[in-house]
Amino acid sequence: MPDFSPTQYAVPLFVVAVVAEMIWSRFRKPEAYEPMDTLISLAFGLGSTVAGALFGGAALYVFIEAYEYRLFDLGPEWWTVWWAWPLCFVLDDLKYYWVHRAGHRIRWMWAAHVNHHSSQHYNLSTALRQTWTGSFTFGLLFALPLILLGFHPAMIAIAGGFNLIYQFWIHTEAIDRMPRWFEAVMNTPSHHRVHHATNPRYLDRNYAGVFIVWDKMFGTFEPETSNEEIRYGIVKQLGSFNLLWSVFHEWIGMLTDIWRAPWKHKLSYLLREPGWTHDGSRDTSDTIRKRWLARQRQVVDTTNPVADRNAIADSPEAA
Amino acid sequence: MPIRHPMETDPQIAVFAGSLAAIFALSGLAWWLKLGAKPRLRDDQVVRTTAGQIEDGFDADLISISRNGDAALAAEATGRIMVIKRHGNQFAGRILGASSQANEVVDGLVVDCGEARFGTVHLSLTDSSTWADRINRLSLRNDA
């Protein structure tokens, strides 16, 4: 059985790339980095490896047990089945899309994933801003279908490692757009900037890991527009560089809400989307986007009342 | 189990220590390269835009900017008030509510939005008493 962790080998590459981006930032965009923010993001990265070592064993146990019930068997030397590797990589990326989507749409999952989004910056150090508390969600369940199909947990872990490595380089503002064919199929810096944006237009969009086609397939794709400046972070920015608060703030908020809520609503604070409240006193990404869209329509109505109601005027082609 | 020499470091601890050193080195490099300038809230238009970014749709009607441009207060015609502070080289803000407080100090105002982790915001203002009244009335509004 291969004993191989691709992310371990990639660490020196990560460091070199961060240094290179900092030098780019020095000359082209000094505001792309902030030393305290970088320190916090990298501390998140280090802490997540410690948390993984401490709590990852439970997930591994579940996976090994589940593997005993696999539907298809790739044999005792499963790692020699060459076609299983690309297939596993693609299916693992599909799994990533759904676990990531759940990470944004279910508050319990968001409590862990918010860590990756709470920086107001978007640079390669943000890529390393990984959660410490992922083991306390049900994210591991999303991998079970792959295991039951017969992919060994080690194969899935290696595929997942390469997936993470791919996602590192897309956390940058140094690259504008990739060639059109690449943008059409792959996740890119442009697509992922949209994902990290708090602009109402972009909220809860582009969940892809490696292949952007999943977002196009499942209706969550939004292209980056060049005429709107992107703001990064979360809807309610932390306004604090306290590491422990950054790690646990959403867990504390969620548990407080559950504690205070009437019994019939307690589960909803765990399983519904971030921002949901039983009395509608807070915003979700859906309500923010709805309000923003209504305002955009209002602006169009007042500035161009005739053209907006004219089907010909809507057409991009000359009449 | 292999016997380790008393002076020998556990490889995992060595990796952790090395990573920690690398983290400080990279953050130090960002600081040495002078990355992350300190932006200022220069005028009302910048505050208006920033407030709209912090809370989508926030339509600032009345604005006061702290003298050094690192913080501001903005109020809507509806009565909602937002405090904005510089956070690193970005801005963050909060809509003030019933648990918010404002205390006048010698050179201005200290605003507590009611969230301990967001912290208090010190503003050097000339019209601090008007804002203090406005903010402290928010709690009365809820008590009524």
- Of B19, B56, B87, which has the smallest distance from its Cβ to A200's Cβ? B56
pLDDT at B40: 95
> Among B42, B92, B81, B83, which Cα is nearest to B59's?
B81
Write out pLDDT tens, residues A139-198.
999 999 999 999 999 999 999 999 999 999 999 999 999 999 999 999 999 999 999 999
Q: Are B54 and A237 an interchain contact pair (Cβ–Cβ within 8 Å)? A: yes
Q: What is the DSSP string of B108-133?
A: EEEEE-S-TTT-EEEEE-SSHHHHHH
3-class SS of residue B94 = strand
Residue A206's pLDDT band (cuts 50, 70, 90): very high
Interface residue B56 vs chain A (CB under 8 A):
yes
Mean pLDDT within A41-63? 93
Largest CA distance in chain B: 74
Q: Are B35 and A32 an interchain contact pair (Cβ–Cβ within 8 Å)? A: yes
CA atoms of A115 and A117, how far apart (whole Å): 5
Predicted ipTM of the assembly: 0.88
> Among A139, A132, A149, which Cα is nearest to A70's?
A149
CA atoms of A115 and A97, how far apart (whole Å): 18
Residue A33 reports pLDDT greater than 50: yes
Mean pLDDT within A57-77? 94
Q: Where are the beta strands (DSSP E) in B6-59?
A: none
Write out pLDDT tens, residues A102-130.
999 999 999 999 999 999 999 999 999 99
Which residues in chain B touch residue A296, judged by CB atoms under 8 angstroms apart?
Answer: none
3-class SS of residue A190 = helix
The chain-wide mean pLDDT, for chain A, equals 93
* Rounded percentage of chain B residues whose pLDDT exceeds 90: 77
In our burial notation (b when 16+ CB lie closer than 10 A, e otherwise), range A52-91 reads beeeeeebeebbeebbeeeeeebeeebbeeeebeebbbeb
DSSP alpha helix (H) spans, A197-305: 213-218, 243-260, 266-271, 285-303
Residue A279 reports pLDDT greater than 90: yes
Q: Give contacts of B 109-128 with A, CB under 8 A.
A: 117-119
CA distance A181 to chain B (A): 33
pLDDT at A313: 42
- Of A26, A45, A245, which has the smallest distance from its Cβ to B35's Cβ? A26
Q: Are A36 and B88 an interchain contact pair (Cβ–Cβ within 8 Å)? A: yes
Mean pLDDT within B99-108? 93
Residue A254 reports pLDDT greater than 80: yes
Rounded to the nearest 5°, which phi and psi values hold at A123? Answer: -150, 180
Look at A160-164, A225-229, A311-315 and tell me which has the smallest mean pLDDT.
A311-315
Residue A310 reports pLDDT greater than 90: no
Which residues in chain B touch residue A25, judged by CB atoms under 8 angstroms apart?
Answer: 33, 35
Q: Are B117 and A19 an interchain contact pair (Cβ–Cβ within 8 Å)? A: no
pLDDT at A311: 46
> Among A243, A238, A273, A244, which Cα is nearest to A121's?
A238
Q: In which residue are the tokens 């990470």 written?
A: A103
* Rounded percentage of chain B residues whose pLDDT exceeds 70: 91
In contact, A222 and A206? CB cutoff 8 Å = yes
Tokens of A227: 């005429």
Cβ atoms within 10 Å of B14's Cβ, excluding its own? 11
CA-based torsion, A242, A248, A254, A260: positive or negative = negative
Give pTM, 2 decimals.
Answer: 0.91
Q: CB under 8 Å to A203, separation ≥6 — which residues? A: A197, A235, A285, A288, A289
Residue A318's pLDDT band (cuts 50, 70, 90): very low
- Of A31, A38, A200, which has the smallest distance from its Cβ to B27's Cβ? A38
CA atoms of A118 and A265, how far apart (whole Å): 27
Q: CB under 8 Å to B35, separation ≥6 — which residues? A: A22, A25, A26, A30, A31, A32, A33, A34, A35
Q: Are B36 and A22 an interchain contact pair (Cβ–Cβ within 8 Å)? A: no
Residue A90 reports pLDDT greater than 50: yes
- Of A30, A242, A291, which has the smallest distance from its Cβ to B37's Cβ? A30
Tokens of A39: 């320190």
